[in-house]
Structure 1
Amino acid sequence: MVVVKQSPRVVVIGGGAGGLAAAVDCARRGASVLLLERGPEVGGKVRQERVGGQSIDAGPTVLTMRWVFEALFADADAALAEHVRLHPLPVLARHAWQDGERLDLYADREATAAAIDRFASAADASGYLAFCRHTEAIYQKVHGPFIRTAQPTLASLVGSLGLRGLPGALGLDFHRTMWKALGDFFQDPRLRQLFGRYATYYGSSPFEAPATLNLIAHVEQAGVWAPAGGCRR
C-alpha cells in the first residue's frame, strides 16, 4: 500500500495586509492556501484611489518596522528589496496648527530637538531627547518577549525581566496613561498633543491608553520608509 501524504489545506479569510502575510507564511510551510476576499481587490486598508488622474494611497502612506517585512520575505526565500524599493524619509512627519505654527519631526533626533527648541523652548528640546531615551528603553524591554513573540502574555513579559520581576516591569510605564507620562517630558501643550496622537494609531485615547504605548514614537523615530509606487505596491 502506498500512502500519499497530502499538503495541509488552509483557508485565509480576508486579503488585507495581515491575511496576505498569513497566506505567504502558510504557503512557504507547504500548505495549499485558499485566500478569500469579498472586495474587488486584495489589500484591505492598503488601497489606492484615482484622483485627478493620479493614484494616491487612501490608507497607510508609509511604513515603519521594516524588519517585519524583510523577515516575512526572507522566510519565503525571497528578498523585499527585489520586489519593492523603499526610500528612507528624513522628515518623519509634518504638523500644523490653526495659528500657522509648523513643526517637523526628523529621523535625526538632534535635528528634531533643534526644531523643538525653536518651536517651543530649550526645556522642551531636552525633554524630547529624554523622551526618546525613555521610549527606546521601553521598546528594548518588550521587543523580544512581546513584539516578536507569537503568543505573548503578561507573565512571559514579566518573566523575561529576570530577577527584577514585577519591580522591573514598572519601567514599562504601564501604570500611568500616555497623557500623564507626556506631561513629565513636555511643557508645551502642543507637544503633548502631538505625541499623544500616537494613541490614534490603534484607535485609542492618550487619556486612557497605558504609557507603555509611547514606544510607538520610538518606532517611528527609528525609521520611516516610503515605498516607490505607494504602499499598495
Structure 2
Amino acid sequence: MSRIGVVTFPGSLDDRDAQRAIRLSGAEPVALWHDDADLHGVDAVVLPGGFSYGDYLRCGAIARFSPAMMSIVDAANAGLPVLGICNGFQILCEAHLLPGALTRNGHLHFRNRDQWLRVEQTDTAWTNAYQPGAEILIPVKNGEGCYVADPATLEELETTGRVVFRYVRGNPNGSQHDIAGVRNAAGNVVGLMPHPEHAVEALTGPSTDGLGIFAAVLAHLGTAVPAASRDRR
C-alpha cells in the first residue's frame, strides 16, 4: 500500500480532510510535521489548505522555510509526487517548485463556493485518472487565490501544457487566463486552489470528482486500488 504524507503547519485547516481523502482512495495517510525534516519514506506528499504560520508576510512565505519543506523541495526535484492545495499551492510557488504567485482575489472578497474546473492536462502524477477536457465540480475557498505571472511565464505555461486546471463557468478570484492549477515541467508537482479533498464523498458533496486526483497518484505509483475495494474501506 502506498504511503502518502500530509504536512501539518501551524494554521493548517484541511490536513485531516486530506488524510481522509487519501484513505478513501486506498492509500495510507502519514502525518508529517512541519518542523520535522524526516519524510518517513512516504511515496508522495500533500500540502493541505489553511493559513500556514498565520499567512504572515505572504501566504506560504514562512512555510517554505520549514524543515519539512526543505526536504520536500529536494525530494520533489528528484521526482517525488507533490500536491499543493490552496495554501499548499501558495507554498509551492513560494518555494519555487511552481512558477507564478497567488495574490489577493481581484474583487477583494473571500470566495467560498462550488466551482467547475476543466482538466487541461492528464499527463501528470495527479491527473492521469481524468479524461482530457473533463469538467469537475470542486469547492473553492480562498481570499488570496488570484494566480498571476509575468507575460513570458504565462506564455510558457500555455505553450508547454503546464496549465493543469482552468476555471470554467465563472472565475472566482480573477486568476489570469482562468488558471486554477499548474504543474512543474516533470509533471510530478501540481498545485491548485480549489479543494479536491472536499469532493470525495456523495454525502458531503458537491461531488466525488476530487477523488480522481488521489486515485491518480496511486496509478502513477503503480498501486491503484479497484473501486470495489475502496468502497469497502
TM-score (norm. length: structure 2): 0.26
TM-score (norm. length: structure 1): 0.26
- Structure number with the higher helix fraction is 1
Which has the higher Rg, Structure 1 or Structure 2? 1
